[in-house]
Structure 1
Amino acid sequence: MAVGLVSCSSSKSSEAKRPKELYMESVLFEKARNHCERFHDSWYVLSAKHGLLEPDGSKIEPYDLALSDLDAEERRKWGSEVVTELRQQNVTDDRLVIHAGKDYYEPLLEALGEVEYEIPTEGLRYGESLAWYNEQIEDL
């Protein structure tokens, strides 16, 4: 089973929305979300402010926080808390597919331990990541 983890985005709706809708102002979030909905068994949103969010969870207000705004210790704490939430969701026995940049996946990797994961867009720039998602759809 594959579980997608999609990072939040600085581009957000101006009003409260469910997590899967709040970040749709971002083309990259939209592509990652669509990819997860098509290719993964389930998926979650990684929020700098709220941690792990269920896509269809309660509406949340827009906020202005990125993991790059936090110091190293705060990022480690965030990663540890998200992994705890993943364990509570019983998905750490599954393969985690992380659709996020380095600021988001590094704190997770420190806390994941032996959990199986992949980062399909690791090392890709923004435009290259968009192209990767487009290619996945074209290959169907």
Structure 2
Amino acid sequence: MKQLCVIPCGNKKIWDKVPHLGKVEAQNAYTGTFHLLCRQYAEKFFDDWVILSAKHGFLFPEDFVPGNYNVSFSMKTEEVIRLEELNMQAYEKNLHQFNKFVVLGGKKFRPIIETAVEGEYIYPLQGCTGIGYMQQMLKKAVLTNHSLHD
């Protein structure tokens, strides 16, 4: 079974600290605590992972993000990637080769990911009552080398 970890991007970005920095690889663009913990988890337990951005869609770690933006899936704006685009991206980036998707993040990602790609979905953080608990679980999993998704 081939699995892919999907992690959220986050509000804090490298351009908040270095505004004139040009494009950067996605793996270096997002600097928030939750994103960084998700990334540590993804790097530790998965061969393949992507960042899900409300503006840019599915980003492999080495994909480039052109610059700063402030868009979330809850916003009603043209800047939010359309589900049709996400679906096309999933196809173009060959995400259909994966049949198991481990999605780190809140409930809001569920309809998005389940519309974009077909497969088995696991949401190891869905029982958490807040971001603090999510961060605690991710930290503990990485430190103890015990995954949350098995």
For this structure pair, what is the TM-score category when the shorter chain's length is used for normalisation?
Answer: 0.7 to 0.9
1:137 equivalent to 2:146? Answer no
- Aligned-partner residue type, residue 20 of structure 1: Q
Give the structure-2-normalised TM-score.
Answer: 0.78
Q: CA–CA distance in 1 between the matches of 2:45 and 2:94?
A: 19
Q: Aligned residue pairs: how many?
A: 135
* Superposed CA offset, 1:67-116 (max 9, x none): 11137xx97x734432332233333342111112222332222444x511
Alignment match, 1:19? 26
Superposed counterparts of 1:70-81, under 5 Å: 70=76, 78-81=82-85
Asked if structure 1 preserves the Cα contact closer than 8 Å seen for 2:90 and 2:96, the reply is: yes
State which structure, 1 or 2, has the greater radius of gyration over its C-alpha atoms. Answer: 2
Superposed counterparts of 1:1-140, under 5 Å: 1-14=2-15, 15-16=21-22, 17-24=24-31, 26-70=32-76, 78-94=82-98, 95-112=100-117, 114-124=118-128, 125-140=130-145
Percent of matched pairs sharing the same residue: 23
Extract structure 1 runs of 4+ deviating beyond 4 A: none
- Aligned-partner residue type, residue 126 of structure 1: I
Decide which moves more: 27-36 or 103-112: 103-112
Give the structure-1-normalised TM-score.
Answer: 0.83
- Aligned-partner residue type, residue 89 of structure 1: K
- The secondary structure found in structure 1 opposite 2:52 is strand
